[in-house]
Every structure is written in structure tokens, then in C-alpha cells.
Structure 1
Amino acid sequence: MNTLSSKPWILGLTGGIGSGKSAAAEHFASLGVHVVDADHAARWVVEPGRPALIEIAEHFGDAVLMADGQLNRSALRNIIFSDPQQRQWLEALLHPLVREEIAQNLAQAQSPYAILVSPLLIESGQYTTTQRVLVIDAPQTLQIQRTLLRDKTSEEQVQAILNAQASREERLRHADDVLVNDTDLKVLKTEVERLHHFYLTLRGGQP
């Protein structure tokens, strides 16, 4: 069992859509840091065979399932976006399960610090479970440009996602560290390495 002193501290990593947080997280992982993705945890708890998916199907009916038994996310999204009460029911079911999944994954970390990557780190309150927050930041025009290239989506859709995520000011207000990703991947990786060496000097996430 880890003693408290050797237990990895947790870095929360976030950033708006198209900021480069996934690329940053991948590079931290390549440096040997244990990385847990909140989105992956959220998907995993509703996999076929998991209790949450059975409850969701019982509550909403088979219309939210696809032929192969997977969750039909777009059907479920349509229901919860038009009915706040149903959204609250779903969140009450899933949030504790996702929290538990994240905690179990983070507990397996062997690296000096571990990273929780979450696009909604601030909005969901997940940042309260971390000792330090790193925000990957990029000018909004660049975020839109990158997302359009990556997702082949419309500018309106990207703008809607940007509007739904925490405002840039709000994210930066919670940040202990900010990595401005406004050039290329090479510069991003160099900055990640610089932060990594700094983080290795910290105890409990603090200098």
C-alpha cells in the first residue's frame, strides 16, 4: 500500500475544444505519466453489460439502444436535451459511477504524479479532486480552425460547443499553470517536457 508521501499527486488537465489538450496528454503519457481520461471513463460506465446501461434502457426504453446492444448516444442526447428532468436523472445515475471509475484508475498510478484529462474539469467540479490545474490555452480563432479541420463539422457547431464549455476566463481563473498552444506540435511537446520536469520537483502538486 502506498504511504501518503509516495502517493502520486493529481494534475487536472483541461482546455477548450481544439486547444490541443489531447496532444498534450499524449505527450505526458509518452514521458511515463499515468493519464486518465474522464471522457473514456464516461464511455466505459455505459458499455454493454455494465449495470448503468441496463438501468438506462429500463428507464428510457429500447429506443436508446442500438441493434448491437450499444448505447445510442444521439437518441439519448435528444431526449435529455429536450427534458431537463430526464437529464438530471441521468446525471444522478452516471456522475457517481464516472467519479468512482476515475478514482480507481488514478489509484493505479505508479508515476510521481498522475493526470486527469477532462474537457469539463472546471464545469463538473472535477478540479476539486486535483492538487493542481494545467490549462492548455489557444486563441479562439485557432480553436475553431483546428476543430473544423479535425472534425469536418460546421463553424456554428464548433461555436455552440465553445459556448457550452467554461469560458476561457473561467478556466484561466482556476489555472495554476497555462500552456499557450498557438504554434505547432513541436513547441507544444517542448513545453510539456518543461512542465513535466517542473512537476517532478513538486510534492503534492505544490512547490
Structure 2
Amino acid sequence: MGGSEVKKRVIGLTGNSGSGKSSAAAYLGQLGAHVIDVDRIAREQSDPGRPGWAAVKQAFGEGFFRADGSLDRHKLGEYVFSRPEELKRLNALLHPLVMEEVRERMAAAGGTVVLDCALLIDTGLDSLADEVWVVAAGRDSKLGRIKARDGISHEHAQNRLASQLDEKELEKHADVVIENNGTLDELKKRVREQFYGKSE
């Protein structure tokens, strides 16, 4: 309207698995932001019939697929999270497909856009953001949340964390660090303050 284009605010939201990033993203959605769940897009790319599904099958073989043709994500996850080179190979297959869809969704979105992505820094998606937010939590908190959420072993949870950038490394890229070692209400308060610019 009026010919002058309002610049979109793009927040890149990241954090290790179990940090509470998804809770922060959900609350940002409640505050009116348009949340793009990049991790979900990556998962959807390997649904049957999608380009990522065919690429993963060709690269990793039939052994990671169920009888109905769907990808056994739990089995593949256990495999790649304990083998860094294989995880890199999987990400290299899916990343270009994910980037293309993210850009399309960003172009269609209005207002504040949140890129919710565990691998925001690793994949270079932070280059699309105006500000990077990192949700941080203690290691024990993260391991406990991962095991409870995904029903996986302690070892698998440790491998998953080990496959991600160290939290201190993530924080080097952050414009905002949101500590999440307390209650959900405390997390929401910190997110709200940063969203509306009322911190400190």
C-alpha cells in the first residue's frame, strides 16, 4: 500500500536438540510471527514420492525403508548421528531442496518471519536472517528432554547432541541468547521481551 515496501523482519531461531527451541517457536507463532519450520520441511522432503525420498533411497539403500516404502527415520537417524560423514552426506542431499522451499515460503509470508531450524548455522540459513536467536539450556536438561520426547536411549540422545554444533559455538553467531533452564512461563517471558524489544 502506498507504494513503499515494508521490510520484513526475519528471525533465525536455533538451538541444540532438547533446548526448548520448538517451544519458543510455537510461542512466537502465538505472538503473530509467521514461523517456517525448516526441520519439518526437511522431514517432508523425504516423504514417499518427494525428490528427497528418491535421493535418500539411492544414496543409502533400501535397508532404511519400511515395507510400505516410507523412510524409517529412527533407523536412519541412529545410523547418521553416530557417523558424522554420513550425516554430512544426508544433509548435502536434502539441503538444496529445503533451501528452495524455504525461500518460496519466505517470499509468500508477511510480517515477522521466523526460520525455526536446528541446523541454522551449519547450513548457512542464518544468512537469510536479520537476527539470530539461540535457545540455550544445560546439557542434562537437553538430554532429558530428548529422551522423553523421542523415546530413545541415552546413547542415541548423546550422539544426536554430539552431531550438532556446540552451544557455545552457536552463541558466537547469536544476536540474542535465550536461557531455558526454568519453566515454560519463564521461557515465554524472555521470548516476549525480545520479540517486542523490551529487554534490559
Structure-1 residue corresponding to 2:40: 40
Counterpart Cα distance in 1 of 2:28 and 2:14: 13
Structure-2 residue corresponding to 1:50: 50
Q: How does 1:29-178 map to 2 (within 5 A)?
A: 29-58=29-58, 60-74=60-74, 76=76, 78=79, 84=85, 88=89, 90-111=90-111, 113-178=112-177
Counterpart Cα distance in 1 of 2:132 and 2:155: 29
1:11 partner SS = strand
Counterpart Cα distance in 2 of 1:129 and 1:28: 18
Deviation at residue 38 of structure 1 after TM alignment: 1.3
Distance 1:144 1:188, change over 3 A: same
**Unpaired segments ≥5 residues, structure 1:** 200-207
Structure-2 residue corresponding to 1:189: 188
Percentage identity across paired residues of the two chains = 36
* TM-score using structure 1 length: 0.80
Distance 1:42 1:9, change over 3 A: same
Counterpart Cα distance in 2 of 1:190 and 1:140: 22
* TM-score using structure 2 length: 0.83
Does 96-105 or 122-131 show the bigger shift?
122-131
Given residue 168 of structure 2, which amino acid in structure 1 is its aligned partner?
E
Does 171-180 or 154-163 show the bigger shift?
154-163
1:116 partner SS = strand
Please provide the CA RMSD for this pair.
2.9
Does 182-191 or 56-65 show the bigger shift?
56-65
Structure-1 residue corresponding to 2:20: 20
Given residue 143 of structure 2, which amino acid in structure 1 is its aligned partner?
I
Distance 1:71 1:178, change over 3 A: same
Counterpart Cα distance in 2 of 1:48 and 1:176: 38
Aligned length: 196
Counterpart Cα distance in 2 of 1:194 and 1:23: 15
Decide whether the 8 Å contact of 1:181 with 1:188 is kept in 2: yes
**Unpaired segments ≥5 residues, structure 2:** none
Decide whether the 8 Å contact of 2:81 with 2:163 is kept in 1: no
Q: Give a deviation string over 1:168-191, Cα, whole Å, max 9, x none.
A: 110111110111111101111112
